[in-house]
Structure formats: structure tokens, C-alpha cells
């Protein structure tokens, strides 16, 4: 009997989170035949927008689709919860959407932010909390859940290569990324697909033109190849595609 392709559902807050946090893992999984579905709970309309937030949201939704195609994902779903407001919205409304996405796509693995929200971003932390709550409530029927965080120092290295330019425009402290991250249980290296991760990040041109990422060469994409994951203590417990393509942290640093 043929085995169905594994399904990976990535749930994030803004278009660009998926590529920045786990573009390497997603590209590797897709290259191995996994079906990758990406969700952004907002359209990212609260970014610098010249006074037309709706236009920025539409542009960023398009950038999200382009990044998903670059990574080999089959879908990019941009929902319209209010950007910058996730901690103050009705959690039941967010939970309903996450539950519906899981019911529709039946993922084997869900990936979302770890508790540090990459750099204490309140929207990111809320997504971590809501996804954890929904997966917990699914009990025996839950998919596996992995949290992603940024390796401490990685964004500092990217900024240094670009002469100190901001990695994310407006966020001047590159050391904030990953500074509060819990230790990973799994390290995934993008390998040759790091260049594809960089290309996916650059699809988000409204965010990264003029940022440190604009200055990296394809070879320097190796700077962002390493990704940190932590297996949640809720969700299904079996081995997943991520366990197959990743290595335990001790082995990864040896």
C-alpha cells in the first residue's frame, strides 16, 4: 500500500515569518515530497505602509504566495486577523481558524513559534499559545507539534555581514532574535536549500528591501541554514519527517 505524503502545516502571524524562521526545513520537507501548507493569521498590514494598510496587506499576501511557491509549499493561506492585535483579539476566533485548518489539511506535523516568539513579538507569542491550546485540546487526534526559534547569534551574523544593517527593518537589536529561546531538541540544516530559503525571504520585498538579507549572496545563505526546533510536550509523539531530516543538538554541533 502506498504511504500518503506527510503533511506539514506551518502556522505563523505574518507573511515572512515562515521563511525567516523555518524556510530551510519547509524547503527540505517539500523537496522530499511532503505537502506543505502555510498559514499567516494576519496579512501583515501594520508594517510601514504609507497610510494604506489594506494595500500593504494585499501586497504582503502576494509576497506570501510567492515565498510559498519558492519553498515548494502547495498553499499559502493569509487570514485577516488584525496585525499587531493578536493578543487582544478573541482567542476563540483564532482557535476556530486553527482548528478548521487542522481539520481540513490533517497535518502530520504542525510548526509554530516557540514561547519566545522569535524576539518577544506579542503576535508571535499569541500564535504559540493558541496553536498549543488547540493541539492540546485535540488529545489523541492531535498532530505532532514542533516549535521553531532562531539560533542565538544567527541574525547578528547576518547583520554583521551586511555592515550592521537591520535584519528586520526597524528592529535594531539583532541580538534580540533567539536571545530568550529555549534549547532546541532538534536541529535542521537547510544544506544546499539555504539559498532557496534566502530567495523565499527575499520574496517579502516590502519587508526586506534594504535589510541585511538584501546584501547576502547565495553562498552566504549558509549563515541562515541552521534552524532550531523543540518538540512540544503535547501532540502526537511518534517519529515525524522532521525527526528524519534533523539531528539532535549535540550531534549537530559536533
Q: Does 28 bind Zn ion (CB under 5 A)?
A: no
Least Å distance, CB 244 to Zn ion, is 28
Between 62 and 249, name the residue whose CB sits nearer to Zn ion.
62
Least Å distance, CB 155 to Zn ion, is 13
Q: Which of 6, 11, 14, 142: binder of Zn ion (CB under 5 A)?
A: 14
SS3 113: strand
DSSP H helical segments within the chain, as ranges? 17-31, 53-71, 91-105, 117-120, 122-138, 154-161, 194-203, 205-208, 212-215, 241-245, 249-253
Between 113 and 229, name the residue whose CB sits nearer to Zn ion.
113
63-to-99, 136, 219, 236 alpha-carbon distances in Å: 25, 32, 23, 32
Task: Count Cβ atoms below 10 Å from residue 217 Cβ, excluding itself.
Answer: 10
Q: Does 13 bind Zn ion (CB under 5 A)?
A: yes
Between 13 and 155, name the residue whose CB sits nearer to Zn ion.
13
Least Å distance, CB 251 to Zn ion, is 30
Between 13 and 34, name the residue whose CB sits nearer to Zn ion.
13
Least Å distance, CB 243 to Zn ion, is 26
Q: Does 17 bind Zn ion (CB under 5 A)?
A: yes
Between 9 and 13, name the residue whose CB sits nearer to Zn ion.
13
Rounded to the nearest 10°, the torsion over CA 88, 111, 120, 86 is -10
Helix, strand, coil abundance in the chain, percent, nearest 5 = 50, 20, 30
SS3 11: strand
Between 174 and 245, name the residue whose CB sits nearer to Zn ion.
174
Give residue for cell 505524503.
5
User: Near Zn ion by CB under 5 A, which window of 7-15, 109-117, 189-197, 218-226?
Assistant: 7-15
User: Near Zn ion by CB under 5 A, which window of 15-23, 34-42, 216-224, 235-243?
Assistant: 15-23
Site of interaction with Zn ion (CB under 5 A): 13-14, 17
Amino acid at each position: 500500500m502506498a504511504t500518503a505524503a506527510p503533511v506539514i502545516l506551518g502556522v505563523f502571524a505574518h507573511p515572512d515569518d515562515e521563511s525567516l524562521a523555518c524556510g530551510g526545513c519547509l524547503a527540505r520537507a517539500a523537496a522530499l515530497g511532503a505537502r506543505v501548507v502555510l498559514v499567516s493569521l494576519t496579512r501583515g498590514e501594520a508594517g510601514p505602509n504609507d497610510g494604506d494598510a489594506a494595500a500593504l496587506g494585499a501586497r504582503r499576501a502576494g509576497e506570501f504566495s510567492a515565498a510559498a511557491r519558492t519553498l515548494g509549499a502547495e498553499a499559502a493561506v493569509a487570514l485577516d486577523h488584525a496585525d499587531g492585535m493578536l493578543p487582544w483579539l478573541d482567542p476563540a476566533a483564532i482557535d476556530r481558524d486553527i482548528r478548521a485548518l487542522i481539520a481540513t489539511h490533517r497535518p502530520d506535523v504542525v510548526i509554530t513559534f516557540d514561547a519566545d516568539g522569535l524576539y518577544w513579538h506579542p503576535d508571535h507569542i499569541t500564535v504559540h499559545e493558541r496553536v498549543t491550546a488547540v493541539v492540546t485540546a485535540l488529545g489523541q487526534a492531535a498532530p505532532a507539534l514542533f516549535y521553531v526559534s532562531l539560533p542565538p547569534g544567527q541574525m547578528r551574523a547576518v547583520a554583521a555581514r551586511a555592515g550592521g544593517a537591520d535584519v528586520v527593518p526597524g528592529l535594531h537589536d539583532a541580538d534580540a532574535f533567539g536571545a530568550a529561546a529555549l534549547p532546541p531538541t532538534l536541529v535542521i540544516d537547510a544544506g544546499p536549500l539555504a539559498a532557496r530559503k534566502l530567495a523565499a525571504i527575499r520574496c517579502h520585498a516590502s519587508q526586506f528591501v534594504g535589510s541585511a538579507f538584501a546584501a547576502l549572496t547565495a553562498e552566504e545563505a549558509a549563515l541562515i541554514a541552521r534552524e532550531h526546533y523543540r518538540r512540544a510536550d503535547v501532540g502526537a509523539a511518534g517519529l515525524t519527517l522532521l525527526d528524519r531530516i534533523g539531528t539532535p543538538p549535540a550531534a549537530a554541533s559536533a
